Amino acid sequence: MKQERLRTLGALVLTAMVSSYAAIPAAAQAKPVPGKLRGVVHDAAGTPQLGASVELISEAVGVAATRSFLTNTQGMFRGDKLAPGFYTVRVTLAGFLPTLEKHVRVTSNLTTVVRIELESMFASLDQLRRMPASSTAEVDDWKWVLRSASGMRPVLEWVDHDTLSASAVTGEVVGPRAPRMRMEFTDGARRPTSASSIASAPATAVAYDQKLGGTSRMIFAGQMNYDSDAPAGGIATVWLPTGTLGAGPHTALVLREAKLGPVGPTFRGARIDQGGALALGDRSVLTYGGEYVLVGLGASASSLRPRAELNVRLTDDWNTAFVFASMPNGPGPLEANGRQLGGALGAALSELDAFPALLWRQGRPVLQNGLHEEISAERKISTRGRFQVAGFHDDNRHVAVFGKGSDLPAADYFQDFFSTGFAYDGGSSSSWGTRLAFREKLDGDVELTALYSFGGALTPSDDADGLLRDSLRTAQRHSLGAGISARVPYIGTKVQAGYKWVNGVTVSSVDGYGESIFQMDPYLHLILRQPLPKFALGRWEAIADCNNLLAQGYVSTNSRDGHVVLVPAFRTFRGGLSVQF
């Protein structure tokens, strides 16, 4: 009897214990314990990347929330209090192709660690990463890459690599090797009547990319022409301490010399450019820099040109930017590397032509300069397009005006020895303006750009008794431009074409900063890059750059100095061959 009671009592205790044990996981399941995610973003050389945009997207059905981060100076980001499950990680950074990590698993009470390697923009646009045979491309794999400035970068198709484990990256990323050297054999001038430009004659340019140990790199560039009456050339060195162009810090030194005719003076110039970026919290990036320019042509002229931009991510779809920059140009070739057709090597060569226009006033040289302030807001439209609205103020001290004429006073007109062209100091100009811009990537390799600007520009009046600059007035003008960038299938020709219309007579740019960041030159312009069969040294390309093909916008006017034709944009052609290896 006693044994039966003990058995009954034991059964009751065991039943209670089982019921209590079963109730514990049920309560725990009602509120899952969150997990954590830690990550580091680096390039192919292992250098941590500052200011990379990281989007964490839950793959759970019905959950559309997205969390955004910016990497710190060590390239790290962190996400706390994450619901357990699978996530997709998208990473974008100026100067790199966007990357995508799918099926990253976050576990309760554990910290998941991921390492993400970014592929350099130096990789050819013709060859994207290879996909496994079992994978398929998705429309959502098109992704915008925001540059640190307010301009918008072209969209690139991205195909993600093999799925990586949630705790570590396994396997090695394989991609095309970036070219180490670029040579160009060209004829023609990009900037007529500019003392810092070589004559419109055959010339050779070379750029070479050299590692200095660790992650540091140095890019060397040089150029010379073959005109015996006016020899000219220059050298440039670009130091990249972190090995990253367009996002990391850089220091550039450019020296240039050009003889202006067989008996003319010799132009000598030097530029020192320094820039970098700084992350301010998780949603802001400050891009800063400046350049010092010193030129000599009998007498010397100098200019200090600061620039800064604060880019703030408001939401996943909205960004805003505050810009303070020196005129006449927007971001320099190094900061605008994403738009350079030649990548880092092409950006280094462009540094040789980045001198401001040299002008002559009352017998002394002056440099074109001014200030540009801007505030802009940008909205992401799906994954393929962006729309920007901006308000800006331009305060120019010395506006460069170009034209054609002869027998003009040497004290104010900088005459081109090779033609009747001249550069002239049009004086000061101050105006307010606004800009609307839209850029979208269509199917294939086609990209469309639309740009509307309203701003001030110089226009001549009927006053013919005073100096030319006394007859120039600032007038508000509307401008509307459209452009297309495409790669022709099968033959691989890269085409950039556009047309910018201006309502009314102007002799200077309407929204010159917008022209720079959106590559929207006045009137009809065309750029062609035709790949050629491989032979000899490496990959060959035929190149052709045409500006103002229809010679529009020429203005005939009179002043006390005589009759001249003012030209807001010269009709120019520059063509030749390029080889990379």
Confidence of residue 199 (pLDDT cuts 50, 70, 90): low
Distance CA 135, CA 162 (A): 9
Confidence of residue 222 (pLDDT cuts 50, 70, 90): very high
Confidence of residue 430 (pLDDT cuts 50, 70, 90): very high
The answer to whether 35-157 and 181-580 have equal CATH topology is no
Burial 96-122 (b: 16+ CB within 10 A, else e): bbbbbbeebbbeeeeebebbbbbbbbb
The CA-atom distances, in angstroms, between 148 and each of 39, 277, 320, 485 are 22, 9, 11, 22
Nearest to 266 by CA among 302, 226, 221, 229: 229
How confident is the model at residue 442, as a pLDDT?
85
Q: Any idea which of 287-291, 341-345, 348-352, 412-416 has the lowest mean pLDDT?
A: 341-345
Assigned architecture for domain 35-157: Sandwich (2.60)
Q: Would you list the domain boundaries of the chain?
A: 1-29, 35-157, 181-580
Confidence of residue 175 (pLDDT cuts 50, 70, 90): very low
Average pLDDT over residues 456-460: 93
Q: Are 31 and 108 in contact (CB under 8 A)?
A: no
How confident is the model at residue 159, as a pLDDT?
31
Q: Is 486 or 143 the better-scoring residue by pLDDT?
A: 486
Confidence of residue 164 (pLDDT cuts 50, 70, 90): very low
Flag whether pLDDT at 189 surpasses 60.
Answer: yes
How confident is the model at residue 193, as a pLDDT?
64
The pLDDT tens digits for 102-160 are: 888 888 888 888 889 887 654 433 343 344 433 333 333 333 333 333 333 333 333 33
How confident is the model at residue 342, as a pLDDT?
63
Q: Are 264 and 417 in contact (CB under 8 A)?
A: yes
Residues contacting 7, CB < 8 A, separation 6+: none
Question: Would you state the structure tokens that stand for residue 445, as one six-digit string?
Answer: 């390799």
Is the pTM above the cut of 0.85? no
Q: Any idea which of 45-54, 218-227, 296-305 has the lowest mean pLDDT?
A: 45-54
> What is the Cα 460 distance to its own chain's centre?
34
Q: Chain-wide mean pLDDT for the chain?
A: 80
Q: Any idea which of 190-199, 231-240, 365-374 has the lowest mean pLDDT?
A: 190-199
Average pLDDT over residues 184-212: 78
Distance CA 325, CA 431 (A): 15
Phi (first) and psi of residue 567, to 5 degrees: -130, 105
Helices marked H in 449-568: 512-518
Distance CA 120, CA 106 (A): 28
Which fold does the domain 181-580 belong to in CATH? Maltoporin; Chain A (2.40.170)
How confident is the model at residue 506, as a pLDDT?
93
The pLDDT tens digits for 18-44 are: 444 444 444 444 567 888 899 999 887
The pLDDT tens digits for 411-423 are: 888 887 777 888 8
